[in-house]
Structure formats: C-alpha cells, structure tokens
Structure 1
Amino acid sequence: MDVYLPIANLSVNGLVIVALGALTGVLSGLFGVGGGFLTTPLLIFYGVPPTVAAASASTQVTGASVSGVLAHRRRNGVDYRMGGLTIVGGVFGAGIGSLLFRFFQSVGQIDVVISVLYVVMLGSIGTIMLREAIDTIRKRQTSEASQARKRRHHPLIAALPMRWRFYRSGLYISPLAPVLLGVMVGILTMLMGVGGGFILVPAMLYILGMSASVVVGTSLFNILFVTMATTMVHALTTKAVDLVLVALLLLGSVTGAQYGTQLAQKAKPELLRLVLAAIVLLVAARMFLGLFYQPEEIFTVLNL
C-alpha cells in the first residue's frame, strides 16, 4: 500500500510505516521508554530524510505521551512543580535547538549532526544500561544482596543558589537545576526528534535525586509539553513535520503499546533492560556505519 509523504517528498509503503510505529509502541510499553529515540533512526534507515524524520518523530511522541500522563496522574505520580520548571527550560531549549537546527541546515550538515548525536547518545546510554543489566543478573545468580542506593542529588546541584521545596519529589533544591535540565532536553528534542525521556529519567534519578515514584510521570508531563512546543517550532521554522507520516506512526504505536504493556508484565525487568540495551547499541552501531557509507546517488536536489 503506497502512501505519498508530501513533506518528505517520497512514496512509502504505509503498512511498513505502521509496523515501524507498532514496533516503537511495543518498545514503549515493554521497556517503559518513549520509543521516540528509535523512531528517528529507523525512519532514516527506511529512507526518510533525517530532517523530516526528526521533526515528525517529535510529533508522534506528543501523541503517545498523553495517555501516559493521564495514567500517572490518576495515581498521583506527577510532580507538577518540578515538571513545570523543566517545561520552562524545555521550551527555551527548543528555541535554542531551532537556531542550531537552522544553522546546521543552512551549511548542509544537519543530517550528519543528527546521526552523530544519535551515535553518541545511544552508544553511551546503551553501554550504561548493558552494564547495569549484567551486574543485576550476576548478583541474582550469585545470590549477592544488592544494597539500596541512597537517594541524594549531585553535589553540583547543592551548589546552585536559592532553594525550593518539591514535596512530591521529596527534594529541597534550587529551581535552576530542573530548568537547566529542561534546556538540555529541549535542545536534544529539537535536534533529534526524541521525547528526551531516556535522558530525563536517569537525570532526575541520579542527578536531581527525585523519588522513583514520580520520576516517570513527571518526565512524561515534561515530554508532552516540550514536544508540543518543538512540533510548533518545527512547523513554523523548518516546515519539516509530515502529518501523513505522523498519522501512520501513531496508528501503529498506539496499538503496539498495548501489547508491549502486556508483555512487560510477564518478563523479568533485568532481562528487559538487557534486551533494550542490545537494541540501542545495535541501532547506534548502524548509525555509526551509516556515517561512512557512500550514498548510491551522491547528489541532491535543492528547492530554491
């Protein structure tokens, strides 16, 4: 079933795009991550231009985050004060990311920048996840008791001026910390088309020291509004959001997330992390190799 993508300016098999969305949806439900960090590279592998892939993937993440926020809100798992500050930083970061996006696009290097960012981010995160999963499995096999990590924010956070109380997160820290974290996530969301959850969740846990009970819900709350902002910025500046592509991805991801959630209830968490780490590293390796491939047609058409 061929479908024409007007912004990407190419025809694709609609069923393949729906299946790709379903795959990222399954990963979202199975591993508890947004799946957006895999949507962009998979679209690039399929032949969608990186600029369109990044812009459209951020739009898909917006739709996929709504149900997650509502679910965590029902169990009081969202720190709205913390989330509001990260959103302020995220919107500001999206503006900075827009300027960077346009700059790299003007010099013809945006495709390379997106690929390099994915190689670095996915390679680093995949390695950390793989090491933690292997350590957890080894401790279980040797019956070694794992000590609970004391929840404490990073020393740099304690050095920041002013302090607010975040009662849901159980923190007394400077509001500048979540704002700066939001700026970083906003820039990456604009450039990479990701929700930022795979960066935001570990940062909230290990840098800010937030309570694990509100981390995921607060992260999704941030992702929802920051991806909305980046989608609007992309639509007004880069004009790279392909709504036909987004609709096909959402159709698949909404369905896939339901199956992923059911599978997650039956599998061991450490094995899930191990599999996810392997998938992330494989995608990073493929993106790395893609930086050195010579394209079949070493020219492009520029619309003036």
Structure 2
Amino acid sequence: MPISLSLGALVGAILGLTGAGGGILAVPVLVFGMGWSIQQAAPVALVAVAGSAAIGAFEAWLRHMVRYRAALLMTMTGVPIASVGMQAARLLPQRALLIGFGVVMLFVAARLVFSAAKKAGAHDDLHNPWALCRINPSTGRLAWTPLVGVSIAATGALSGLMTGLFGVGGGFVIVPILRKITNVSMHEVVATSLMVIALVATGSAVVSVAQGTAFPLRFALCFSATMAVGMLAGRLVSRRLSSRHTQIGFACILVCVSFGMVAKGLIHA
C-alpha cells in the first residue's frame, strides 16, 4: 500500500501539471501496484481523480477561470453516458479493456507530442480561426449557438464514455476539443476541464457503487488524500515549468505505461 499511495501522489502531481491527463495514470497505478482488474480499480481511481480535480477547479474558480455553463452542460451529458460505459466494461473481457486502455494512452501521448511540436511560437489562444464558439468582447462570455451547444454536449458525452469504460477523468478528451471549438485561453480550458472531471467522476463513482461494485473505502480515501497533495504541488510547480516540456515528458510516461498495459492484456489469462 505505501508504494501505491506514493504513486498516487505522483499521479496527482501530474494532474496538477497537465490539468488534462494525470488522471489517466490512476488506473494503471492501481492495476500494477495493487494487482487489481480495471473494473476494480475504476471506482477508486474516479474518487481520487474527482477529489484532486475538485481542488484544482475550486482554485481556478476563485480566479474566475472556469467556464461553468460549458462545464455543467458537459456534466449533464457525461454522467448518463458514463453509466453506459460502466455497464459495457462489465461485459467486456479484462484482456480487451487492458489493451483498449493501452491504445487510448498511446493516442493521448501522440496528441501531446503533436501539440507540443506545434506550440513553438503559437501562444495566442484567443485567435483560433476554427473556433465555433467565440468570446463576446463586450461581455467576456462565450457566444452560444445551437451548434456550439451540441458540440459541447457531445464532448461531455465522449468524456463520460471514457470515464465509465476505463475509469479515467476524461480531460484528455475535453481539453483538445475545447481548444478546437472555442477561442478560450488554455488556462481557462484546463480549469473548465477540471470542473467537468470532478463532477463526472463523482457521479460515475456514485453510480458504480450503487450498481454493486466493491469499494474499499479506507484505501480510496488514503489514495485520494495523497493524490490531492500531489495535485496541489503540481499546480504550484506548473507555473514555473514550460508547458511544452511538461507535455513531452508526460507523453513519454504514457508511452511506457501503455506498453505495460498492452503487454499485461496480451498475457492475461
């Protein structure tokens, strides 16, 4: 348990540094550190991710960085779809889930590397020519249209599916999509993502327990506490590090862990 709790602090720190991906490491930590299946690890990971994300979201809320209307809409679509994802996870064999999780991690790693490669000299978040939803200069709020509403709702649904199926936070879905369809700054996108992660992960964990999934409460609380400490440390350190270098480093970690998940899936009986 001490090793797993230490790894929990590391996962929290990565979540604080990236805002959109640290949670994807919570399940592998429990799978390898505790020898659990993905179905066993998912509820504990969701509670831990929810707590850490809530701290980051609250901090960002105090600085008026959360786009709460978009976050609430994504939550409304994300939680019901997460329930569908959890039911699917119970039907799928463990081997398929492990390999699928590894493939998702590779996809996230590739996106991070691609994003970091494009970042050189591209720091003006507010001039996204492809943005469907743009900030109204006179109000400082997003200008909503039916297409924007559907796009953001679909983002929440996709994030919820990943949350329910694999027990991840879904920030790796939310952040790149919001970056494409809005011209909101990266800091606000991350803050909004953290709020959605906190709400959807909490709702998903409650649904999972209500459906009869075994839940080790004491371990979950300890794991969540160490992850929250790591989250706070990561948020402080993130202000002093280059986001480009952070993304590349995180991508390397994801690649290594994804190979481990795929290998475990291939040899899983």
TM-score class, shorter: 0.7 to 0.9
1:151 maps to 2:128: yes
SS of structure 2 residue aligned to 1:244? helix
Q: Distance in 2 between matches of 1:211 and 1:147?
A: 12
Matched with 2:165 is: 191
Matched with 2:31 is: 44
Answer whether contact 1:79 1:168 (CA < 8 A) is retained. Answer: no
SS of structure 2 residue aligned to 1:267? coil
SS of structure 2 residue aligned to 1:172? coil
**RMSD over aligned Cα atoms:** 2.5
Matched with 2:109 is: 126
> Whose Rg is larger?
1
Answer whether contact 1:72 1:78 (CA < 8 A) is retained. Answer: yes
Matched with 2:174 is: 200
Answer whether contact 1:40 1:53 (CA < 8 A) is retained. Answer: yes
Q: Distance in 1 between matches of 2:140 and 2:196?
A: 15
Inter-CA distance 148–91: structure 2 relative to 1 (3 Å threshold): same
Matched with 1:239 is: 213
Q: CA deviation at 1:178?
A: 1.4
SS of structure 1 residue aligned to 2:86? helix
Deviations 1:150-192 (A, max 9, x none): 42447xx79xxxxxx9x65534332222112111111110111
Q: CA deviation at 1:195?
A: 1.0
1:211 maps to 2:199: no
Answer whether contact 2:60 2:66 (CA < 8 A) is retained. Answer: yes
1:97 maps to 2:76: no
Q: Distance in 2 between matches of 1:171 and 1:210?
A: 11
Matched with 1:17 is: 4
Deviations 1:97-147 (A, max 9, x none): 13313333xxxx1x22321332221111101212333454xx5xxxxx558
SS of structure 2 residue aligned to 1:287? helix
Runs of 4+ in 1 over 6 A off after TM superposition: none
Q: Distance in 1 between matches of 2:236 and 2:76?
A: 35
Answer whether contact 2:96 2:265 (CA < 8 A) is retained. Answer: no
Inter-CA distance 147–189: structure 2 relative to 1 (3 Å threshold): closer
Q: Distance in 1 between matches of 2:213 and 2:245?
A: 40
Matches within 5 A, 1:172-191: 172-174=144-146, 175-191=149-165
Answer whether contact 1:171 1:210 (CA < 8 A) is retained. Answer: no
Matched with 2:54 is: 66
Alignment TM-score, normalising by the size of structure 2: 0.86
Inter-CA distance 237–193: structure 2 relative to 1 (3 Å threshold): same
1:81 maps to 2:81: no
Matched with 1:302 is: none
Letter in 2 for 1:131: F
Q: Distance in 2 between matches of 1:84 and 1:257?
A: 23
Deviations 1:230-285 (A, max 9, x none): 01111011413322231121121122223323433333222111111111111111
Matched with 2:16 is: 29
Q: CA deviation at 1:94?
A: 1.7
Answer whether contact 1:25 1:256 (CA < 8 A) is retained. Answer: yes
Q: What fraction of aligned residue pairs are identical, expressed as a percent?
A: 24
Q: Distance in 2 between matches of 1:271 and 1:74?
A: 27
Count of matched residue pairs: 261
Q: Distance in 2 between matches of 1:84 and 1:118?
A: 27
Higher fraction of strand: 1
Deviations 1:67-122 (A, max 9, x none): 11211111211222211211111122123213313333xxxx1x223213322211
Higher fraction of helix: 2
Q: CA deviation at 1:38?
A: 0.3
Q: CA deviation at 1:210?
A: 4.2
Letter in 2 for 1:85: L
Q: CA deviation at 1:29?
A: 2.3
Letter in 1 for 2:178: M
Alignment TM-score, normalising by the size of structure 1: 0.77
Letter in 2 for 1:32: G
Inter-CA distance 210–99: structure 2 relative to 1 (3 Å threshold): farther
Answer whether contact 1:185 1:196 (CA < 8 A) is retained. Answer: yes
Answer whether contact 2:20 2:194 (CA < 8 A) is retained. Answer: no
Q: Distance in 2 between matches of 1:187 and 1:132?
A: 23
